[in-house]
Amino acid sequence: VLFTIDDRPYRSDLAIKEADILKARATVGEAKAALADASSQYAHVRDEKDGRFISLEEVEKRRNAETTAKAQLDSATAAVTSAEAAAQAVQTDIERLTVRAPIDGEILQVNVRPGEYAATGALATPLLRMGDMSKLHVRVDIDENDAWRFQSGARATAFLRGNRDMKTELQFVRIEPFVTPKTSLTGSSTERVDTRVLQVIYAFPRNSIPAFVGQQVDVFVEVTSP
């Protein structure tokens, strides 16, 4: 769970709906008792034919009473179902107010604070960044002039900038077949486009080198002779 929007009005409404469920269930109990009594009363005179002990009118009356009691039980049972559905609807509204992460991971960056307005739509800077840190990935840019030399699954090694002794073997993940413009990572709002590159995704264990998310590394890819 990342955070929860104020759900107090819905919690109050949920308490009312849950009380309605208890009331409806109590009504079902009363309806069952009434049906049992009506069925018992009718059973005593059900086989009476000649009217010597009880009138046929009374037999019909008791039969109708049993039928009515059955209908009242069905209505009470339906009322329980309706009350439970209403409570579930409120519970769904409460769950919608709780923002949950779609994956298990770590919070990498938070760019919004309590009380700030959270804009909708695509943002230049996301409100929050998170990711699965169990395995890190490297996006390798291969110049379009050298793209023909790359073979899918080629071995590669990453070196940390500033310390060439820290390196790790990379595991090939996939090629993104669409060649995209390369940008010079200057940090400015408008990046200068130099050329086009083929992007290849590699992965490596998090504990293999002390690298951080967003850090640049030097990658050497093994190629065969032309």
Tell me the per-residue pLDDT of 5-60, one tens digit each, with 9 for 90 and over: 778 898 999 999 999 999 999 999 999 999 999 988 888 787 666 556 677 778 88
pLDDT digits (tens, 9 = 90+) for 146-194: 888 999 999 999 999 888 899 999 999 999 988 888 766 555 555 555 6
Confirm if 99 and 1 have CB atoms less than 8 A apart.
Answer: yes
What DSSP character marks residue 207? G
From the list 168, 172, 135, 167, the residue with the least C-alpha distance to 150 is 172
Query: pTM for this one?
Result: 0.58
Q: Which amino acid is at 182?
A: K
Average pLDDT over residues 202-226: 88
Question: 């080198």: which residue's tokens?
Answer: 209
Question: Sheet containing 163-183: which strands, arranged edge to edge?
Answer: 135-143, 193-205, 163-183, 156-160, 217-221
Identify the pLDDT of residue 51: 53
Q: CA 84, CA 9: separation in Å to the nearest integer?
A: 18
Lowest mean pLDDT among 55-59, 85-89, 140-144: 55-59
Q: What's the longest Cα–Cα distance across the chain?
A: 114
Identify the pLDDT of residue 31: 93
What DSSP character marks residue 70? H
The CB-based long-range contact list for 53-57 (8 Å cut-off, 24+ gap) reads none
Identify the pLDDT of residue 226: 61
Residue 206: what are its φ and ψ, rounded to 5°? -65, -35
Pull the structure tokens for residue 43. Answer: 């059973």
Average pLDDT over residues 118-127: 83
Q: Beta-carbon neighbour count of residue 104 at 10 Å?
A: 8
Q: Beta-carbon neighbour count of residue 62 at 10 Å?
A: 20
Identify the pLDDT of residue 68: 92
Percent of the chain past pLDDT 90, that is, above it, reads: 41
Confirm if 119 and 128 have CB atoms less than 8 A apart.
Answer: no
Q: Beta-carbon neighbour count of residue 200 at 10 Å?
A: 23
Pull the structure tokens for residue 226. Answer: 């032309």
Calculate the average pLDDT of the chain. 86
Percent of the chain past pLDDT 70, that is, above it, reads: 89
